[in-house]
Amino acid sequence: MKFDLVIIGGGPAAIAGGVYAARKRLKTLVIAKEFGGQSIVSSEIFNWIGTPSIRGEDLAKSLRNHLEQYVGEYITIEEGSLVTKVAGEQGDFSITTNTGKVFTSSMVLVASGAARRRLTVPGAVEYDQKGLTYCATCDGPLFSGMDVAVVGGGNAGFESASQLLAYAKSVTLLDNGNMFKAEPITIEKVLARENMKAIHHAETTEILGDKMVTGIKYKDTITGVEQVLPVQGIFVEIGVVPNTQMVEDLVELDSVKHIRVDPRTQQTSKKGVWAAGDCTDGLYAQNNIAVGDAVKALEDIYVHFHK
């Protein structure tokens, strides 16, 4: 069977795309490795509009439940599969999964998200979500009155530090280079705060803790001397890795492999392929933005379908 639309992903962007596709009566297949998206691990989400507070797991359940309302005539779900390749032309795309299945579709919406680049030092896996986190917007308020560290001296690192300064007793930013990569105006503003400190040439070597994080060990890359900074929270901002391998030969990507889109329509460089959410080159990554992107894409897909 040929679908009108295949949606790749199972996060907020894919679910929003699926719900809108069903309501527009497009025969749609949603292929998701798993449902819920990145914030499924969050203990509490405070900015999902219309819901003052929700656990990541509960948000994932409610998203899935919304999509499942439409399973049948318009929505088919292929869960547990990873799309490995998309090829073809508008009107005739083939979508291959790691389970060896090949689906065909007139149009494709890529909503495969991104993963934060993870710290790989000892303790990083053990203390993930036990004081070590990858999202200051989400988890910052949990560290009120505490000493925290931010790993990474780019815009995301300084942005996180700026947010954390509103709650934390002190923020120390560790950067492994000799120059911060964030914008000078942001650096200046953040470093002017009296409970803020930044350290260059600081390569994180270990996350320390007992039940929860108690400190971070780092090495001065010039002197080789290791030091321990006692902190209760560690926020890692060392970049993201978009999940875009399946379309890297099909659509234009930016230098860090995000899919380039027209932000008015979410169209990619390939006719018949749209993208939404964290896999795109949109500047900001949030659940509500991912949903909005997908809604825009579906409005545009619908127009194209009936042309």
For 110, the token pair is: 């890529």
In the sheet where 233-236 sits, what is the strand order? 132-133, 233-236, 147-151, 170-174, 196-199
CA distance to 158, 226, 253, per residue, from 196 (Å): 11, 21, 36
We find the least distance from the C-beta atom of residue 78 to ligand FAD, in angstroms, to be 9
Please give the Cα distance from 285 to 102 (Å, whole number).
Answer: 30
Nearer to ligand FAD, 81 or 198 (CB): 81
Of 77 and 114, the one with the shorter C-beta distance to ligand FAD is 114
**Distance of closest approach, residue 69 Cβ to ligand FAD, in angstroms:** 19
CB of 42 to ligand FAD, least distance (A): 4
Q: Which is nearer to ligand FAD, 22 or 29 (CB)?
A: 29
Largest Cα span, the chain: 65
Two tokens, residue 228: 């321990």
The minimum distance between CB 23 and ligand FAD, in angstroms, equals 19
Q: Which residues bind ligand FAD (CB under 6 A)?
A: 8-14, 31-35, 37-39, 41-42, 45, 47, 82-83, 111-114, 116, 134-135, 137-138, 243, 246, 277-278, 285-288, 290
Residue closer to ligand FAD by CB (options 12, 153) is 12
Q: Using the minimum distance from each CB to ligand FAD, give the nearer residue, 111 or 234.
A: 111
> At its nearest, how many Å lie between ligand FAD and the CB of residue 8?
5
Q: Residue 105, SS3?
A: strand
What's the CA gap between 215 and 84, in Å, rounded?
39
Instruction: Identify which of 307, 302, 281, 276 has the alpha carbon closest to the alpha carbon of residue 12.
Output: 276
